[in-house]
Structure formats: C-alpha cells, structure tokens
Amino acid sequence: MKKLYILSAVALGLATASCDDYLDINTNPNAPSAEVVTSDMIMPAVEMNLAASYGDFMRITGGYFAQHYAQEFGTSNYVDYSSFYISATRSSSTYTQMMQRVLGNAQTIIEKANAQAEYGTLLAATTLRAFAYQALVDCYGEVPFTEAFSSNSSPAYDQGKDIYEALLDELDAAIAKASEGDLVCTNFLYPGEKADKWIRFANSLKLRMLTRSVDKLTARQSELDALVAEGNFITGDVQWAGCWTTEAGSESPFYAEEFATNFGSTQINVVPNIAILGTMIQDTYTDPRVEAFWEKGSNGKYNGYISSNTQILQGTVDAAGATCDAAYFSRPVASYDMPVVILSLSDVEFYLAEYYAKKNDATKAAAHYAEAVKASFDACGVSGADDNIAQFPYNQSNWKKSIGIAKWVANAGFNGFEAWCEMRRLDYPAFENPSVSGADFDNGSVLDPSSYVPGTIYTPKNVRSEIGANKLLERWPYAESSTARNANAPTFPGHTVPVFWAE
C-alpha cells in the first residue's frame, strides 16, 4: 500500500486552513519543542493521521472482511484480505500511526487543554482519542492503554473491556467540563464551530460504544438509557469533507491509495464483491444506491468478483459468455475530494433502532430503522428510500437480521470497517446454509454467481486454514511493531476468537 500520510506533530510547523499542508511529506523536520507547540499546531496532525488510517487501511481491510470488496482479477495486493486473513506485519505501520501520531498527539492536546481550561479543545481531543482507541480495540481486542505512553518500553496490554470502560469515563468527564459555546482549536472536522457539535459527536460515539458493549460492561445500561432519553446526537455525518485537493498527497486517502497515480502506481485492486452486488441488485429490485457506490464495468453493467480466487487467466467468461478481463469488473465510485466518514447519521439511527428493538418497542425500532435507511439514501444523493423500506421492512421478530443486513448495505460505500465490526456482533449477514464457497461461483474458467443468495456471505474460495469454513476473521494479530521486543506482549489467541463485545 502507498504510505503517503506520515505526519507527526513535530513535522507540522504552524496550522493553516487547508488539508494539503498537513499531507506534505516533504515538510521541514525541524520543529519547535513540545513545550512551545500549541493545540492549533497539533490537532490537524491528529485528524489527518486518523483520516489516513481509518479512511484508507481500515476502510480497505474492513471492506474485504465484510465482503464488500474482492481482489481485482489478475492482481494480488489484497488477496490475503480476500481470504479473511491479515498478518502481524500488514497492520504494523497503521498501528504505529494510530498510536504515535493520533493517540500520542491527542494526549498532548488533552494535557495542554486541561491545564489551560480550554474545555472545548479538551472535548475534541478526548473524543478523537476515544474514537481511535475504540477502533484499535475493535481490531486487536487488547492493546497497550494504561502504560501506552509511559516510560515503560514494554507496556502491558489492557483488556478491551477495561479500555472501553475507561474511554467512556473519559468522555463523560470531558462532556461535563465543556459548554456548547466553548471554543475549539483549529480543526478540519468542524472548522470554525464551537463545542456544541463536538458534544453531539461525543454522545454519538458513546452510543456506538455502549450499543456494542453494554451487555459486557458493568452497570452501564442506565447510562445508555439516559443517553437515548437526552437524544443529543449528531444531525449529519461526522466526516472530513471539503478539505481534500488534487495536489499529490493531499487527496482523500482511499482515492489516493486506489486511484491516484501521482506516485507512479497504476495497479487496480478493489472491485465489488458479488455478495454486496448480489444483494443490491436482485431479480425484482435494484437498490438505487448502487450507482453511488459502484461504477459500471466495460459491458455497461455492475459486475462483481469473488473473494480470494487464484489469478484466473484472461479470457475467462461469465455465465452469459462475456469475457472477464480486468475492465469487466466494476470499481468503487471515488474522487479526490470524497469524504472520510467516521460516524454516520445512518449508523446512529440504526443504533437507536437496536436500542428500541431490545426494549421490544417495535414501533420506535421500525421508525428509527426507516430513518437510518433514509439517512443512507440522503448521504448517497439518491431517492427511493421508501421503496427500499417497503422491499425490506423492519422485522421485530428477527431484528438482528433486519438491522444487520440493512446496515451492511448502507456502509458499503462509506465504511467497510464499521460493517465488519457489526457483522461480528450481530451475526448478519450470515453464511448461507448449507455451506457455500467461492468455488461454487467460479470453477476457474466460468464466473457464475447466479446461485448466490441475497443478504448472505460465503466462505472465500481459498480461505485461510487459520479461519476455516463459515467463519469470519474476528480479530487482527497483534501488530508486529507493538509486540517486537515487548516482553509483556500477550500470546495471540487466534484469528477466530472474538473480541470482548462479540463473545
């Protein structure tokens, strides 16, 4: 993968008003000391490194693990992801970026803001820190937390449950100190805004974390009840938008990784998986969001591929006889200025639908389910939400299936990482029963997904032995950059051992 986003606080100098300066890898490394840097100088580094990690590496891996993506015909860059596998080395640079350039810098801001009673800035940094740490727990299960930024060169790994508990407490403390009118230091997420939007973001992040984990935490249900009763959540997607440019290294991260050729790479990797296309395009219904998520292939149709096939020879045909060369397959819709969405309004509405489903309030659950679908359609800029809801109505008797599949589809064009997390937790989309493999759709010469069942997933054709049939990758191996020379690094429990909230 191209590693364009290698920012650190000391490499930034002074804050400016556009993303491109913060994405310049040739910035003079001479820097002011930690004692004199300000939050305005550091916050953009936190944001841009988080955007690069979450909006690129985590988006791509999550997309493959959720079967939104498949590896392009004839190339092999992400074949391991396509087989539900990731090695300890593959995530090392992203882990380091998150720990040092996101969390380390966020911690500096928190300390400075707290000392100077800048509570809007304190809340913003605390929220981004909680978001980043939550994502790492969702990947690895356990990571250094208590000793992460201490002098201990071999920090202990904390349990994911304990990290979630601590992050929720940190968010509560920061929200309690902040007032809606408090100023927030220079940032790209809510430029020029005060703390009110950050309070909504923090509350919505709490909603995500509590929804995902409340059954595993200690006495947090009343906190979730109070949060929902207050209802002070985001009213639009939390995203970095309007700050990306066409300059090399300053495009939106996924586009820079997969589409830009500024650094000489022309390899095509990501194409849609037949699972997501087979769900969005059915015999009697086509989801209008398909045009917002995917480009058409060379034959003027939406064409997906399977997970982790061996590289088939050019000249392979589909079931209708069309030649399946590289141009045959669709590609994600992408642009240099595409937003990096980290928490969507659709997701929040799905969490609220789940909250009421668990309360057995089918009326409110269905209402929030409908609002979630509508928010997804609005984000895509297409109409037809009401028809989609009629085609796939909310079902209280199997709310996990209703919400799980609808959320999986909604995140296909924005946030594969979130889709992968929720699949592990809700168990939907589920593997088709009886067992189906990618080999059932491709025999090496003919690609025929006609037997795919919409709303299901399948075992990759060359699934890794560490995973096996009818199983998801449940966690990443601990990053090599974290475990190397760390005597306190735990033994990896295995690729199919759930993180705490999916147990």
3-state SS string for 250-261 = CCCHHHHHHCCC
Give residue 191's pLDDT.
95
Mean of per-residue pLDDT scores for the chain: 91
Per the structure block, which two tokens stand in for 306?
């399977």
pLDDT class for 444, splitting at 50, 70, 90?
Answer: confident
pLDDT for 450 beyond 70: yes
Say what the pLDDT of residue 28 is.
36
For the ranges 142-146, 163-167, 223-227, 459-463, the lowest mean pLDDT is seen at 459-463
Q: Can you tell me the distance from the alpha carbon of 252 to that of 482, in angstroms, rounded to the nearest whole number?
A: 27
Q: What is the pLDDT of residue 23?
A: 41
Q: What is the pLDDT of residue 309?
A: 64
Q: 221-230 vs 345-358: helix axis angle to the nearest 10?
A: 120
Phi, psi of 170, deg, nearest 5: -65, -40
pLDDT at 3 over 50: no
Q: Above 70 in pLDDT, residue 21? A: no
Does 32 have pLDDT greater than 80?
A: no
Q: What is the C-alpha to C-alpha distance for residues 103 and 85, in angstroms, rounded to an integer?
A: 26
For residue 94, give the H/E element and its range: helix 92-96
Query: Is it the case that residue 16 has pLDDT exceeding 60?
Result: no
494/462: higher pLDDT: 494
Q: How far apart are alpha carbons 221 and 6 in whole angstroms?
A: 40
Query: Is pLDDT of 13 > 70?
Result: no
Token pair listed for 250? 């300053």
* pLDDT tens track for 358-410: 999 999 999 999 999 999 999 999 999 999 999 999 999 999 999 999 999 99
Q: 302: pLDDT confidence band, cut at 50, 70 and 90?
A: very high
Question: What is the model's pLDDT at position 249?
Answer: 85
What percentage of the chain has pLDDT greater than the value 90?
A: 82
Once rounded to an integer, what is the mean pLDDT over residues 123-150?
Answer: 97
Pull the structure tokens for residue 423.
Answer: 């699949």
